[in-house]
Structure formats: structure tokens, C-alpha cells
Amino acid sequence: MFKQEIKDSALQPIAPDINLDFWKYQNQKEFNRIIEEDKKTTIQSIFELPKFEAHVRRHEIIWRKHRKDFNTFEIEYLEKTYLEK
């Protein structure tokens, strides 16, 4: 966090709302590894999206409901059955 000296030893934060979680990584290699893992996860989710969409569409037809009308139990069931495949 950025600090500004006001009087001899009194410190006051200048920018307390800035997200500085970036600095928690000890070195650049660790930071790069985290970024690469995030990219892989994003790419995998992009390829999984059409499969999940088809799964939801199948249950829309079976249940004769639109997905916005699904209740929480039905949503949990869809997620559970998709992950079991």
C-alpha cells in the first residue's frame, strides 16, 4: 500500500482501494505460471460451453420449460449430471 508521511512518524494510506494482489507473487516466474493456468482454464471452459449448452437445451425440451424458469434444484441437478458425464 502506498504511504505518505504526514508528520514525523504518522503515516496515512494514499490509495487504500487499489488492488495490489499482483505483488503477492514472489517472482515473475510464479506470476507467469498462474497466468498460464488461468489461460488454460479459460480455453477449456470455452470448449465446454457448447456441450453444457446442449445438455441444458436437452433438459429444456424434456421438462418443457425455459432455462430462466428453472428453480435452484433443477439448476443444481443440471450441473451435477453434467459433471458426472
Q: Please, are residues 31 and 21 in contact by the beta-carbon 8 Å criterion?
A: no
> What global pTM score does this model have?
0.49
Q: How many domains does the chain have?
A: 1
Q: What is the DSSP letter of 18?
A: S
pLDDT of residue 59: 94
- pLDDT tens series, the chain, 85 aa: 555 555 555 555 566 555 556 556 567 788 788 888 888 888 778 888 888 899 999 999 999 999 899 999 999 999 899 888 7
**pLDDT attached to residue 18:** 58
How far is residue 23's CA from residue 19's CA, in Å, rounded to a whole number? 9
What's the confidence (pLDDT) of residue 8? Answer: 53
- The domain of 66 spans 3-84
What's CA 81's distance to the chain center, in Å?
A: 21
